[in-house]
Structure 1
Amino acid sequence: MKKLAIFDFDGTLFDSICDVVICFNKALTDHNLPTLTREEYIPCLGGNIDEIISLVLGENCTPQNLEAVKETYLEYYNASKKELTLPFPNSYEVLKKLQDKNILLAINSNRLNYSLNEFVQRHFSDIDFVAIEGHDYPHPSKPHPYGVNKIMDMANVKADDAVYIGDSITDIKTAQNAGIDCILVTWGYGNENDYENEYVSYVIDDICDLLSLFEEN
């Protein structure tokens, strides 16, 4: 059985896109730039905030636009109550059961650390994560394995005893770059190509399926 479960955040533990869309579209409107639909935002997700904004802006991406939109977006997002950002159903219950099985739990995301900690404290305050690693400038973001390697060092766990659980190609590449197994979930922001990636050990449609997988491994 694996000793360490490292979870992606957006699209894996939390359904976060609605608040992101609202705040991004406000920022884009403020700078007279085209807004996007929810479906158009989904392929832009997965990277760090600069990478996301670059994809959102598309042909309008200039260094000036990127910095302006990022500053305005973060102002809107940080001031927002973010009431639409919620854990996916049963995620808390599964984390609690894994914790009761003495599985070490961690989060690795391209969100900034303060944002991760805000939601963890709000919804998962009694889950004892061994580490919560967001994108820590100037260190590299996912899919670089920096965050995963740091988590494994903190947990004193080897790669063979860890598994990465995510929803998209970014998570697959992160796991692959770190040399650990990958479980992909289908309720997030991935697509069929991701689910068919040969590096993925398991694809699950229900987070409760993790419990049986940790019994089998």
Structure 2
Amino acid sequence: MKEGQLVIFDLDGTLLDTIADLACAANHSLGALGLAPRTEAECETFVGNGVGKLLERVLPEGYKTPEYMEKIRPAFFAYYDEHLTDRTKPYPGMAKLLAELQARGVKLAVASNKYQRATERLVKHFFPDISFSAVLGQREGVPVKPDPSIVNEILVLANAAKEDALYVGDSDVDMQTAKNAGVRVCGVTWGFRSRAVLAEYRPDFITDDPNEILDMLG
């Protein structure tokens, strides 16, 4: 295996199945405003572009206003910060994959549109034995994915070249992010978007099996 390789993972829908806790937090927030809850399946279609977009999409038509956005945000953060590990779990095989990549000397990183403190807490909680070169989430002043800024920042922090990087994600946002950053990309089918959606973006790889990611590194 070539030295200096880097694998950048998306978090929600790629490393962790977070949708149950996200849906609970969204519905708690809606309930606090006297609004009807959303189904978990609906919430799954709303995620991927950061908390702001999630909450905008969760709000029903006629309530997507600055006033309601200002009300729903603190309710969401207060609940999610307390319950972000209640029902969240790693996807099968992901912890083993990370351990094997680390054992092979591959650099690892996380690039998420989830807000930074939640990203850090989840990674530390579920993957405490993995040494990541960078764990980056949504931060003030940094554009969210599919803007490539987060990938470019990780390349610098990991001291890795674009040609040595593989981005792994489950969504159209991830496919676009990798393409915008000029790095190879693998779409995974166990997350929040279908194989058909991923295929539209012509990723370098699409996989149903985490173990196949090892073979993509040569």
Q: C-alpha distance in 2, partners of 1:195/1:23?
A: 27
**Range moving further from structure 2, 100-109 or 153-162:** 153-162
Q: 1:200, CA displacement in angstroms?
A: 0.3
Q: 1:109 corresponds to which residue?
A: 112
One-letter identity of the residue aligned with 1:20: L
Q: 2:24 corresponds to which residue?
A: 22
Gaps of 5+ in 1: none
Q: 1:47 corresponds to which residue?
A: 49
**Range moving further from structure 2, 182-191 or 79-88:** 79-88
Q: 1:157, CA displacement in angstroms?
A: 1.3
Q: 2:7 corresponds to which residue?
A: 5
Q: 1:127 aligns with which of 126, 130, 148?
A: 130
SS of the residue 2:113 aligns to:
coil
Q: 2:206 aligns with which of 203, 207, 213?
A: 203
Q: 2:64 corresponds to which residue?
A: 61
Matched, 1:146 2:142: no
Q: C-alpha distance in 1, partners of 2:133/2:67?
A: 39
Matched, 1:73 2:76: yes
Q: How many residues align?
A: 215
Q: CA RMSD in A?
A: 1.4
Q: 2:95 corresponds to which residue?
A: 92
Q: C-alpha distance in 2, partners of 1:81/1:113?
A: 13
**Range moving further from structure 2, 186-195 or 22-31:** 186-195
Q: Following TM superposition, where does structure 1 have runs of at least 4 consecutive aligned residues deviating by more than 3 angstroms?
A: none
Q: 1:58, CA displacement in angstroms?
A: 4.3
Q: 1:198, CA displacement in angstroms?
A: 4.2
Q: C-alpha distance in 2, partners of 1:54/1:183?
A: 29
CA deviations 1:2-22 (Å, max 9, x no partner) are: 711000000000000001111
One-letter identity of the residue aligned with 2:160: V
Q: C-alpha distance in 2, partners of 1:45/1:61?
A: 16
Contact 1:112 1:135 in 2 (8 A): yes
SS of the residue 1:82 aligns to:
coil
Q: 1:29, CA displacement in angstroms?
A: 1.1
Q: 1:179 corresponds to which residue?
A: 182
TM-score, normalisation: structure 2: 0.94
SS of the residue 1:6 aligns to:
strand
TM-score, normalisation: structure 1: 0.94
Q: C-alpha distance in 1, partners of 2:118/2:131?
A: 18
Q: 1:73, CA displacement in angstroms?
A: 0.8
Distance 1:113 1:81, change over 3 A: closer
Q: 1:63, CA displacement in angstroms?
A: 0.6
SS of the residue 1:97 aligns to:
helix
Q: C-alpha distance in 2, partners of 1:156/1:143?
A: 22
The alignment-based identity, stated in percent, is 33
Distance 1:198 1:142, change over 3 A: closer
Q: C-alpha distance in 2, partners of 1:213/1:192?
A: 18
